[in-house]
């Protein structure tokens, strides 16, 4: 099972030097994936959690491709309705070629209503638009002779998102969903005869000094033993990759990346020793 990290590409502490340090840390830990999130118009609803500066993912990943050599680079998740699918196909194909085939394209429908309004995209139609984008994106990459093997991970856990993952995806990419719920979805799809094409969740990463005993403990939150146990459970559920997300919602965290690096290092080292 591959292990990756979702890097904050936003916030008051984020700049090119910090982004480079994140990439060096992730590759130095021999992680498999480095992924970034996506927003285009940082409207007030977005800024509360993901404030400026916000580094656009394709631009940033292209730059990081030049300062890394091995780690795969991706989006978690690109909001498909924000861009024309032919533009997405062109950028994805270009980044795939420039990075030596290291791109993973995680996609989703989006959630920020005011951002949709700022971009002139109808919020209520975002599901339909995402499906249309995926049809066009798949077709454009094939028709243009694009580099093969750009995996598409489909985010979300609604019924529509699950259908979308089965129809268009190379993996289902749920974001911070409880492990029980992920297991139930996987089992339901198998039982219905519509198995998911792959499983690559994104979970939290927050280490605590003592065990977290409360019911509903978020996956990836707890002692190092609990978090490594979560990873093992996901492996047994069939996960091909797990992306760890150390950002807990406070933009000031981006001023202290060393705390996230220490947690990431501990988990990566314990996971390797337990494997």
**Tens digit of pLDDT for each residue in 129-187?**
999 999 999 888 776 654 567 999 999 999 999 999 999 999 999 999 999 999 999 99
pLDDT of residue 216: 87
Query: The sheet that has 171-173: what strands, in order across it?
Result: 171-173, 152-155, 103-108, 72-79, 33-36, 2-6, 241-245, 202-204
Is residue 203 very low, low, confident or very high in pLDDT (cuts 50, 70, 90)?
very high
Average pLDDT, the chain: 95
Say if CB 67 and CB 33 are below 8 A apart.
Answer: no
161 to each of 66, 127, 241, how far by Cα in Å?
A: 33, 8, 19
């Amino acid at each position: 099972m591959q292990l990756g990290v979702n890097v904050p590409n936003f916030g008051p502490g984020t700049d090119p030097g910090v982004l480079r340090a994140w990439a060096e840390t992730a590759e130095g830990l021999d992680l498999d994936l480095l992924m970034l999130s996506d927003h285009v118009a940082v409207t007030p609803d977005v800024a509360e959690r993901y404030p400026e500066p916000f580094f656009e993912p394709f631009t940033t990943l292209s730059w990081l491709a030049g300062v890394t050599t091995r780690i795969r680079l991706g989006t978690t998740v690109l909001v498909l309705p924000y861009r024309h699918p032919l533009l997405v196909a062109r950028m994805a194909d270009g980044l795939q070629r420039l990075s030596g085939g290291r791109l993973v394209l995680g996609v989703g429908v989006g959630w920020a209503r005011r951002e949709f309004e700022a971009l002139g995209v109808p919020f209520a139609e975002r599901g339909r638009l995402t499906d249309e984008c995926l049809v066009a994106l798949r077709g454009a990459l094939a028709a243009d002779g694009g580099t093969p093997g750009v995996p598409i991970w489909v985010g979300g856990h609604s019924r529509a998102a699950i259908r979308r993952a089965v129809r268009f995806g190379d993996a289902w990419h749920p974001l911070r969903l409880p492990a029980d719920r992920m297991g139930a979805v996987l089992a339901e799809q198998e039982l219905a005869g519509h198995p998911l094409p792959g499983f690559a969740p994104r979970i939290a990463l927050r280490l605590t000094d003592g065990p977290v005993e409360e019911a509903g403990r978020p996956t990836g939150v707890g002692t190092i033993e609990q978090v490594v146990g979560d990873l093992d459970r996901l492996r047994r559920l069939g996960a091909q990759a797990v992306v760890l997300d150390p950002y807990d919602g406070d933009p000031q965290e981006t001023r202290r990346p060393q705390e996230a690096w220490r947690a990431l290092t501990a988990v990566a080292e314990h996971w390797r020793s337990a494997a």
